[in-house]
Chains A and B, each alone.
Chain A
Amino acid sequence: MSRPAAVVGIGQTKHKKKRDDVSLPGLVREAAQRALDDADLTWTDIDAVVLGKAPDPFEGVMMPELSLADALGATGKPIMRVHTAGSVGGSTALVATHLVQTGVHDKVLTVAYEKQAEGNAQWGLAGGRSGGMGAGGIFAPWMRSYMTRSGAPEHIGWMVAVKDRRNAAKNPYAHLQMPDLTIEDVKESPMLWEPIHWHESCPSSDGACALVLTTEDGAKKAPHPPAWVLGTAMRSELGTFPGRDPVRPQAGVECAHEVYDMAGITDPRKQCDVAELYVPFSWYEPMWLEGHDIAGPGDGWRMVESGETQIDGEFPVNPSGGVLSSNPIGASGMLRFAEAALQVRGRAGEHQVPDAKVGLAQAYGGAAQYFAMWVVGATLDAVDQKR
């Protein structure tokens, strides 16, 4: 990286099952305007726009980056679309970051969204055919494999579901507001894809997220504290091949180590104050804790069970409520990146983790084959101060 980049503006919409009060352009503009307001910038200050969303069939709107250019103030400016399935919100933020770090642009607006109520994601994933099993159906067998391999008891999944929904109750933007959800409720909820219960699954949401990334100079002029981007990494692998380990995909392991190395992190469990991980189904919390070497083999579920990943634990995971509480698919990855940045800026409100200086964010997509991660810090030397 040639020069530092920082997040100075963060905006998100209220996530809901159906945002029928706004059109698609209205939805993305709502998030973008909030990010600009946070950065105290106007549309004319922006040099370029980077847009991300999940596959077009989810809304049936093809090449939306073109039709949304007006709503995003991008007419006459560079605009590009990033496309990495469910991880897209994360990779979109990374592309915007790299445009700043490499000196191509000084102020970049990046936006990600999904308006699930305008289409049917399961129809889209099935290519319109019968017998579609949804993302949950693809991931469910791997969760069973994780349980068998690690010896995790089944209540771990229920615990993650309850934790994230209670966290979401502290986040006014979160879709699901279930402050009173209990382990019993999760356990008794209908089975969707064995072993995933209804309450262990993400909702279907309309929503958008936006970030403004800028230079060191831009960060000095910003009205609020910046979040410095200390490490970025993306990786992918084939979705199926003989000998693949889908429970701990190699691309996820390598992505994590690259981002740790770049940020100077030697022990993520000790040196990160907060993590926002892409957990659309409860079991992915312990799976990513192990899959990104935050916990040792078989220790991910023990971190959950001991309460270490709760908002007041030693390693809080998804204080925002995570994907389990809001899932505007294309935006879900960027929300992880945005929430980690909010935490180190000290601007997470009621779900703020006290004194968070280093934040880790991750997004994954496809058949758990695309990964995007970043580490953000309250200062450029935030990680050094942890060592």
Chain B
Amino acid sequence: MSAADTAPAEDGPVTMMDYFMQLEYHELLCPVVRRYASQLLEGRLVGHKCPSCGLVYVPPRGYCPICVVETTDADEIVLADKGTVTNYTVVTPVQYYGQEETEPFVRASILLDGEGGMMNLQDIVDVPVDDVHVGMRVEAVWKPPGERNVDEISNRSWGSAEGCIDGWRPTGDPDVPAEQLRDKAF
């Protein structure tokens, strides 16, 4: 807080004040997510492929909500750490308490190569935000093994590999035509 914030208000009575409290909790990961996190630490991106419909879930959920069938370690597949941007936005950060971003940043959906699998809310790095586009080919930028952590992985993760993958950078390969990605908005 600056001195100005704590100085007595001169414009009239105080009607509201900020109250910061802290609440710390530790979330125990369910076995499927725990396995996903341990694989991330090893530098592998894994998902579950539904034995019924073949859709790929990353991170795995332990079930396919469409077919309503359980998926297990037997359905685990190693996914490519390369893919294509299917959609994105450039976010102008709002400076709420705890926000560390100050400049516009990208959040993108990435369709992984090979067996597929979609990852949401991914950062695109090593490229100006204005150059990001649908169809852009990207690859994961892994942290060095000793620097990886899975502190931000949660049971409700939206495709996050935070702590292990710093973001995705352009490979320089030719774009995938945007028309082929229209139903991959996610």
Contacts and interface: CB of A to CB of B under 8 A. Distances in A.
B88 A141 contact: yes
Interface stretch (B70-78, B94-102, B140-148): B94-102
A117 B16 CA distance: 10
By secondary structure, the B interface counts as loop
A141 B55 contact: no
Nearest to A18: B16
A145 B92 contact: no
A242 B16 contact: no
24 contacts: A20-B15, A60-B19, A117-B16, A120-B97, A123-B96, A123-B97, A123-B99, A126-B96, A131-B99, A132-B93, A140-B89, A141-B89, A141-B109, A142-B87, A142-B185, A190-B92, A193-B89, A193-B90, A238-B65, A240-B118, A240-B159, A241-B65, A242-B55, A245-B185
Interface of B: 15-16, 19, 21, 55-57, 65-66, 87-94, 96-101, 105, 107, 109, 116-118, 120-121, 152, 158-159, 178, 182-183, 185-186
B186 A244 contact: yes
A253 B76 CA distance: 33
Contacts of A122: 94, 96, 99
A240 B99 contact: no
Interface size class of A (residues with CB under 8 A): 35 or more
A130 B105 CA distance: 12
Contacts of A132: 93-94, 96, 99
Contact of A149 (B56, B97, B182): B182
Nearest to A20: B15
A149 B134 CA distance: 13
A240 B185 contact: no
A387 interface: no
A85 to B, nearest CB: 14
Contacts of A130: 98-101
Contact of B55 (A20, A243, A246): A243
By secondary structure, the A interface counts as loop
Interface in A132-163: 132-134, 137, 140-142, 144-145, 148-149
The 5 closest A-B pairs by CB, nearest first: A140-B89, A130-B100, A141-B87, A145-B185, A123-B96
A207 to B, nearest CB: 16
A314 interface: no
Given A118-B16, A141-B88, A243-B66, A128 B186 contact: no
A192 interface: yes
A166 to B, nearest CB: 26
Given A144-B87, A241-B65, A192 B92 contact: yes
A240 B66 CA distance: 11
Contact of A134 (B94, B109, B185): B94
A191 B16 contact: no
Most chain-A Cβ atoms within 10 A of its Cβ — which of B16, B98, B121, B185?
B185
Given A122-B96, A141-B88, A131 B101 contact: yes
A140 B121 CA distance: 12
A289 interface: no
B186 A191 contact: no
